[in-house]
């Protein structure tokens, strides 16, 4: 009998416990009666936060409340009738529960709801009717759930909504037009999801009232269609994998003020990318992979005040970029690879220019005076060369000094002049900023070539700073460093003919210019017309064996098929008179094919090394690899310095591969040896063990024997003396 009662009691309490755990307490309408919430009669606000609730209270009194806080409980599910009777409810907070399911029509009984907060639960899906009949809802927050799908019609009834927060979920995709009914929505938060864009994705369709959208931390590859967002003022797409800004992305968003596209991988900006951004005040393109901005792309940004371009891959800025940015106050181009700043005459309003950590070698007086309002200029971390061009900059820093911390004053950081390296420019005197007039040094006056072949005419100009080289062709046409054409000037100042034509014959004048002056020299090109072969021989048929000697740029190319005259042995090339501004007499050098390194060449090597350190060093390396041609006059295209450095790297790679191969072999042998040794050792130990030769073994064997003897002794011979040890 007692047993039966006991069983029943246990069973009942078990069931009760389970019921409790399941939230199946005595309930009416799916809710439960609770007496622990605090209810403020005057404000009709019920506070049930952190009451360990597993269900929505169903007390009649509470049902007359206007607002109810149910946060930090353990409610797992909102059922169809969970809120039945809560007819007055306008504010509902059920954040920080364990809700994983919103039943269909979960809130249909609370249709006067205005604020619904369901943040930080475990909801995975939003069904078609979860929010139906919430036509008065203004704020809906679903942040920090694990929502991965939203039904296309889920928000159809939310016509009055102003703010929707879906941040921090697991959305990868949103159906087209999912927000289409929410034309009153002003703020939409979709950050920290995993949204990707299908082609022409239209999930933002219909959001005509949207002012602020946060899309950062997603996986978009482009900016979604913003066509209907004609009231948008702020767009944040930080860290969203965007690669391109396409034409007319913003054409219908004329109200946009802040556009933040930082931390993407934007490499392409199409020419009409910013069309329509006439009211934008801030454009943040920092931390992308932008190497260039097309001309005119920035011109719609007439009201832009802040342009952030730091940490990109820009190498060139041009005046044209800024033509219409008359309102710009802050320009940040820190951490790019810009070598030179252009005139920025249209930036009347610029007050702050941050150009730190670029490759700027100088800062022209013209650029400086084109920026009348500038009061802060950050130039540290560049390669400023303290020559006469920097005088104006120094003056500028001295006069506008107080605005700058001493650490913000740039230093002389170029290799030359050595004596000034590391000095802050404001600590120098005007006399320290020196330039030297160019001089031209060349050894070739005449070149004969066959039409159809290629040719590289070299012109080495000394001076400080390094002179800019331009070439004047026979017809008076001037070639400067620039785009790749049949005839072009390379970065090193060589004039490159990809294929020579008959009409190229004539005198070519190379002109070296730097701020201290100019110098020039003339080379005559004779072109032999092609006769029989329609295709010019690309490679000269007879290439003599390459001499092993290390040759330099100025080495007369001894593999050329061209005929040039040789200097008498021991003669030195004559360099241009220093300081002359006119033409320079040049001695002609002819090299026979078979000629090896001569004194002349050595002499030239030294001169060249002194005059044009960086290039000549690079070329020296190149020539030590291949002596096919020198830059002075090459029969074929000289491998460009990048190519040659690649070739050099290849060599290194081969070497390192060899090295790795070698060490791998060594490693294998070592491992094999170790294995063999270990095996031998194990075998030896085994044998030793078998024979009982191990010291520890001997000890234990002895002990065992002793113990055995003792035992036998005690059992058998009582009274007799036992041997204490063996």
Ligand X SMILES: *[C@@H]1O[C@H](CO)[C@@H](O)[C@H](O)[C@H]1NC(C)=O
Determine the size of the site formed for ligand X (CB under 6 A).
11
CB of 270 to ligand X, least distance (A): 4
Report the candidate in 209, 94, 113 with the shortest Cα–Cα distance to residue 163. 209
Alpha-carbon gap, residue 309 to 301, rounded angstroms: 15
**417 part of the interface to ligand X, by CB under 6 A:** no
Q: Which region among 29-37, 560-568, 630-638, 640-648 touches ligand X (by CB under 6 A)?
A: 560-568
Q: Judged by CB under 6 A, which of 36, 247, 369, 704 binds ligand X? A: 247
Q: Does 272 bind ligand X (CB under 6 A)?
A: yes
| Shortest distance, position 321 Cβ to ligand X, whole Å | 16
- C-beta of 647: minimal distance to ligand X in Å? 18
Instruction: Please identify which residue in 270, 282, 292, 408 interacts with ligand X, judged by CB under 6 A.
Output: 270
Least distance (Å) between residue 407 CB and ligand X: 22
What would the two tokens of residue 423 be? 């000095």
Q: Which of these segments, 29-37, 76-84, 348-356, 556-564, binds ligand X (CB under 6 A)? A: 556-564
561 lies in the site for ligand X, by CB under 6 A: yes
Helix axes 599-611 and 613-625, enclosed angle (nearest 10):
140
- The least CB distance from residue 101 to ligand X, in Å, is 45
563 scored as a contact of ligand X (CB under 6 A):
yes
Q: Which helix (H) or strand (E) holds 620?
A: helix 613-625
Integer angstrom CA distances of residue 417 from 384, 413, 435, 618, 714: 11, 9, 10, 21, 102
Cα 459 to Cα 470: distance, rounded to the nearest angstrom: 9
Q: Which is nearer to ligand X, 509 or 645 (CB)?
A: 645
The alpha carbon torsion through 670, 674, 675, 681 (nearest 10 deg) reads 160
Whole-number Å distance between alpha carbons of 605 and 626: 16
Long-range contacts of 21-24 (CB under 8 A, 24+ apart): 22/54, 23/54, 23/55, 23/75, 23/76
Would you state the structure tokens that stand for residue 637, as one six-digit string? 């295209």
Q: Which is nearer to ligand X, 605 or 612 (CB)?
A: 612
For 116, the enclosing helix (H) or strand (E) is strand 115-117
Nearer CB in complex with ligand X: 345/435: 435
Give the separation between CA 109 and CA 105, rounded to whole angstroms: 8
Stretch of residues binding ligand X (CB under 6 A), selected from 269-277, 281-289, 297-305, 519-527: 269-277
Q: How far is the CB of 617 from ligand X (least distance, A)?
A: 8
Contact indicator for 493, 416 with CB cutoff of 8 Å? no
- The candidate with the shortest Cα–Cα distance to 329, out of 310, 297, 354, is 354
Q: Between 377 and 406, how does the x/- string for binding to ligand X read (CB under 6 A)?
A: ------x-----------------------
Q: What is the DSSP string of 388-455?
A: GGGHHHHHHHHHTGGGS-GGGS-B--SSSSGGGTT-BGGGS-GGG---EEEEEE---SEEEEETTS-E
Q: Which is nearer to ligand X, 562 or 605 (CB)?
A: 562
Q: Nearest-CA neighbor of 167 among 118, 208, 105?
A: 118
Considering the rule CB under 6 A, would residue 412 count as an interface residue with ligand X?
A: no
Q: Considering the complex, state which of residue 17 and residue 271 has its C-beta at the smaller distance from ligand X.
A: 271
Q: Which is nearer to ligand X, 79 or 356 (CB)?
A: 356
Binding segment (CB under 6 A) for ligand X, from list 59-67, 217-225, 266-274, 579-587: 266-274
Residues 592 to 621: which contact ligand X by CB under 6 A?
Answer: 614
- Stretch binding ligand X (CB under 6 A), from 330-338, 557-565, 654-662, 684-692: 557-565
Smallest separation (angstroms) from ligand X to the CB of 627:
19
Which member of 10, 15, 289, 415 binds ligand X (CB under 6 A)? 415
We find the least distance from the C-beta atom of residue 618 to ligand X, in angstroms, to be: 9
Closer Cβ to ligand X, 327 or 490, answer by number: 490
536 binds ligand X (CB under 6 A): no
Distance CA(498)–CA(487), nearest Å, equals 6
Q: How far is the CB of 359 from ligand X (least distance, A)?
A: 9
- Least distance in angstroms from the C-beta of 113 to ligand X: 46
Q: What's the N-to-C CA distance of the chain in angstroms?
A: 72
Reading the block at residue 263, the tokens are 């931390």
Alpha-carbon gap, residue 223 to 476, rounded angstroms: 49
Place of tokens 């820190």: 334
From 12, 16, 194, 271, residue interacting with ligand X (rule: CB under 6 A): 271
Q: How far is the CB of 247 from ligand X (least distance, A)?
A: 4
Smallest distance, ligand X to C-beta of residue 563, A: 4
| Binding of ligand X by 320 (CB under 6 A) | no
Looking at the Cβ atoms of 49 and 227, the one nearer to ligand X is 227
CA 595, distance to chain mean position in Å, is 51
Which residues contact ligand X (rule: CB under 6 A)? 247, 270-272, 383, 414-415, 561-563, 614
């Amino acid at each position: 009998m007692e047993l039966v009662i006991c069983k029943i009691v246990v069973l009942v309490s078990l069931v009760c416990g389970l019921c409790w755990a399941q939230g199946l307490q005595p309930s009416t309408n799916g809710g439960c009666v609770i007496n622990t919430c605090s209810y403020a009669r005057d404000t009709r606000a019920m506070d049930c936060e952190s009451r360990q609730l597993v269900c929505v209270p169903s007390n009649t009194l509470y049902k007359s409340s206007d607002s109810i806080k149910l946060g930090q409980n353990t409610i797992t599910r909102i059922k169809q009738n969970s809120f039945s009777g809560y007819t007055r409810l306008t504010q509902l907070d059920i954040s920080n529960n364990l809700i994983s399911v919103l039943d269909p029509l979960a809130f249909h009984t609370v249709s006067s709801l205005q604020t619904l907060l369901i943040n930080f639960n475990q909801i995975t899906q939003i069904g078609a009717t979860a929010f139906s009949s919430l036509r008065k809802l203004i704020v809906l927050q679903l942040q920090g759930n694990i929502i991965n799908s939203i039904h296309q019609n889920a928000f159809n009834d939310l016509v009055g909504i102003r703010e929707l927060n879906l941040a921090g979920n697991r959305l990868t995709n949103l159906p087209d037009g999912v927000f289409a009914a929410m034309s009153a929505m002003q703020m939409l938060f979709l950050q920290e999801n995993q949204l990707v864009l299908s082609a022409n994705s239209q999930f933002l369709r219909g959001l005509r009232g949207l002012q602020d959208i946060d899309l950062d931390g997603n996986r978009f590859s482009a900016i979604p269609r913003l066509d209907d967002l004609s009231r948008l003022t702020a767009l944040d797409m930080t860290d969203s994998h965007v690669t391109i800004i396409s034409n007319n992305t913003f054409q219908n968003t004329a109200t946009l003020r802040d556009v933040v596209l930082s931390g993407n991988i934007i490499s392409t900006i199409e020419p009409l990318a910013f069309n329509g951004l006439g009211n934008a005040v801030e454009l943040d393109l920092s931390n992308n992979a932008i190497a260039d901005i097309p001309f005119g792309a920035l011109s719609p940004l007439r009201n832009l005040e802040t342009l952030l371009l730091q940490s990109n891959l820009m190498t060139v800025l041009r005046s044209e970029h800024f033509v219409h940015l008359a309102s710009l106050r802050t320009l940040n181009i820190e951490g790019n690879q810009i070598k030179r700043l252009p005139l920025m005459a249209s930036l009347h309003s610029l007050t702050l220019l941050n150009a730190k950590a670029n490759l700027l070698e100088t800062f022209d007086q013209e650029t400086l005076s084109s920026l009348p309002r500038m009061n802060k200029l950050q130039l540290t971390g560049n390669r400023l060369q303290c020559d006469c061009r920097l005088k104006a900059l120094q003056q500028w820093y001295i006069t506008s000094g107080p605005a700058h911390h001493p650490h913000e004053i740039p230093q002389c950081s170029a290799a030359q002049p050595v004596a000034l390296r590391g000095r802050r420019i404001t600590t120098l005197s005007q006399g320290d900023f020196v330039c030297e007039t160019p001089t031209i040094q060349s050894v070739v006056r005449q070149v004969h070539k066959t039409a159809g072949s290629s040719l590289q005419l070299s012109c080495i100009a000394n001076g400080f700073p390094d002179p800019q080289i331009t070439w004047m062709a026979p017809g008076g046409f001037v070639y400067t460093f620039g785009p790749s054409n049949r005839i072009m000037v390379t970065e090193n100042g060589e004039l490159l003919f990809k294929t020579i034509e008959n009409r190229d014959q004539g005198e070519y004048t190379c002109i070296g210019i730097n701020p201290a002056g100019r110098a020039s020299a003339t080379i005559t090109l004779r072109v032999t017309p092609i006769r029989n072969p329609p295709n010019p021989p690309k490679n000269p048929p007879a290439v003599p064996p390459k001499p092993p000697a290390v040759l330099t740029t100025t080495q007369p190319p001894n593999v050329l098929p061209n005929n040039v005259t040789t200097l008498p042995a021991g003669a030195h090339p004559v360099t241009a008179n220093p300081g002359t501004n006119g033409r320079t007499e040049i001695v002609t050098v002819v090299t026979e094919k078979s000629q090896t390194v001569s004194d002349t060449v050595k002499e030239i090597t030294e001169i060249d090394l002194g005059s044009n350190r960086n290039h000549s060093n690079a070329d020296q390396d190149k020539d030590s690899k291949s002596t096919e041609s020198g830059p002075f006059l090459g029969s074929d295209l000289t491998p460009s310095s990048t190519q040659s450095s690649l070739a050099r790297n290849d060599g290194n790679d081969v070497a390192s591969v060899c090295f790795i191969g070698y060490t791998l072999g060594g490693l294998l042998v070592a491992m094999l040896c170790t294995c063999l040794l270990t095996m031998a050792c194990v075998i030896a130990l085994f044998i030793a063990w078998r024979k009982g030769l191990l010291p520890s073994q001997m000890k234990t064997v002895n002990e065992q024997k002793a113990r055995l003897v003792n035992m036998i002794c005690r059992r058998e011979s009582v009274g007799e003396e036992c041997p204490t040890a063996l």
